[in-house]
Chains A and B, each alone.
Chain A
Amino acid sequence: MPPTLVDMVQRVKTSRRKRARFRYPSPEEASVGYRDLPHHEASGGGSIEALLRYEPLVLKWWKLLERSEVQAERVDELGPNSFRGVHPGPTVLEHPDGSIFISLRAPSAEAATRVLEALVRERFELPRPPERIDEMNGVIREIAESEVSVSLFDGEEEFCVELPRKIFEDGHVPLREDEGFQFFVDRYSDGLEKAVVRPLPRRELSAEDWETIDKEIGELLDGE
């Protein structure tokens, strides 16, 4: 049986109209690496299509990452509103020579990278990154010998817990009362959970920020 180019793992979930426009790349087109799908321009930038070339070597993986960054620039140029409607799942095309083409739509470069990472890991059984869960901001309340009393804020409520002192040392969070930190739990594929703290990103407010703030406060107080 002659080799077929297309082995679609997951069909693009999109409207009939969009599917009609979708055209898989010819081997010649694919061999040049990555490029825009032809219909992308025709759709007036209504969606982002990233066609990325991947060869099954870990060495090449980094090239893929680089290319996803190239895509990131374009996402920014189009602006956040350019990505509307259905977000179809990724489509994986395998070439008989071992090359893989991944077509995906994502609202941002970061999202595209995450999907690509997951696809490649699944295919080559690379260890999955831990799942980040229970992300919250926290503040240190009291420091004891082995444990630190903290308040965690999930945006809605405050929870008081005690965390081991060691995780603050590992996370380079200064151990002092009223110090803020980011908290999350990394859950690994084998079920292992690891609590992680990080220093909160500081954001100094500039004079321009204060102008915006004062305007908002003025509107709230309505001239009072």
Chain B
Amino acid sequence: MGNERGAESSSLLSLHVVGAGIGESIILQIPHESRPGRFHWGVVDCYSASKDPWKNPTLRFLRSKKDLGACRLDFACVTHPHDDHLFGFWHLFASDDVVVEKFWRFPADDWTLLRAFRGLSGDFALHAEYPRLERELSNLLKYTKKHRKSDDPSRYRRCLDYNKAVYRRLIHTIDSGNDVLLEISSLAPSSKQLDNHADRLAACLGDEESPRKRLFDPTRYDREIHNLLSVVLLVRFGDTHIILGADAECDSWIDILGNSDREEDGVHLSCDVIKVSHHGSVDAFHQPAWEEHAARRPPVVIITPYQRGSSRLPDSVMRERFAGCASEVHVTSELAEIGRVRKAFKSNFLRRKILRHVAGSSLPVHGKTVRVDHMGHVLRVDDLTIE
């Protein structure tokens, strides 16, 4: 799994991006400021096709790096409530051997969100996957209760849960003596996006006066609205800038660029590594933002594909566009992890059908590991395989 310990450099930041056909998990391995050979760890989003925590690829990866301190996470962040970013996230909290110090999450009203998912579960004919989404979110809230009740607000933070537009909200730092070793800020969503999300979710409710008494109308619901909540993170490791785009679409990038406080804050979007937002879809490509990403030098681009039914992201046109803006383009895996045959189906019919989709009965999870130093250099991009 991954690379041998000997290859781990104690001064480099490693970004492990897992994404096999659907869903993504990003694991940050940050060098420890005072203890060589030890690291700070963080997880941004988590996807597991299975509800079994032992099959969760992110957990399997963390356990494999236990001797490097990976089972103690400095932070875990879930960017938005979509199945391909949320399924299996609660496993991090439910596992006895994993400790999460801080939990950051998308800003949304839990009550309305759970009601919406339950409403969609009640009308299976429209949305067959919502029962699990509702269960996953409920589990996440249940297991993070300790964090929610904590007196320390930094332990449970709804990213950008505020009433005014704030650009570059600093949410985490790791200091090394007098210097800041690592700084994580959130760039999105803006308050405008939050309002937009709340309005569009409220449009699925009836006309009762109290929102809590309104019945949910699944036919008015559009699953894409949750992309408005996507938390975009900017990770600064010395001079190295990394942008994790989650599923932010064009509107989010327009809001980020249009923020009047941006120049005052001295924040720019140029970066050395970018995890492309929304799986490289055309809806998430905003040319001015990409011009700024490549202002200093063309970044290394990581794309996590989304291969599900009619959604085949990224398409060939977008790949070419990214290639034009980037020094290197890396795609984590084209192979849909969800298609793996983990259980023996009783019928030969299904076995045949599923085996046609995948080459074997026990496929590993694929991803990429990017190693950067603090001088703005991307040193290496390796294949990552979690057996």
Contacts and interface: CB of A to CB of B under 8 A. Distances in A.
Interface of A: 133-134, 137-142, 149-163, 177-181, 185, 187, 193, 195, 199-205, 207, 209-210, 213-214, 217, 220-222, 224
B342 to A, nearest CB: 6
B22 to A, nearest CB: 8
A161 B354 contact: yes
B206 to A, nearest CB: 10
Contacts of A155: 132
A185 B347 contact: yes
Contact of A157 (B49, B119, B141, B348): B49
A159 to B, nearest CB: 6
B129 interface: yes
Contacts of B162: none
A145 B293 CA distance: 42
A137 B129 CA distance: 9
7 contacts: A153-B128, A157-B338, A159-B338, A161-B350, A185-B349, A205-B118, A210-B215
B82 to A, nearest CB: 14
Contact of B342 (A157, A201, A203, A224): A157
Interface of B: 49-52, 110-111, 114-115, 118-119, 122-129, 132, 138, 141-142, 145, 148, 212, 215-216, 308-311, 336, 338-339, 341-343, 345-350, 353-354, 356-357
B128 A180 contact: yes
Contact of A160 (B128, B212, B309, B349): B309
Contacts of B215: 205, 207, 210
Contacts of B309: 140-142, 149-151, 160, 177
Contact of B349 (A140, A195, A217, A220): A195
A202 to B, nearest CB: 5
B308 A151 contact: yes
Contacts of A193: 347-349
Q: Which 6 A-B pairs have the closest CB atoms?
A: A141-B309, A185-B347, A142-B310, A139-B128, A180-B128, A133-B346
B142 A134 contact: no
Contacts of A202: 123-125
Contacts of B348: 193
Contacts of B119: 205
B346 A201 contact: no
Nearest to B21: A160
Contacts of A185: 346-347, 349-350
Contacts of A153: 128-129, 132
Contacts of A149: 309-310
A139 B346 CA distance: 20
A58 to B, nearest CB: 31
A178 B353 CA distance: 20
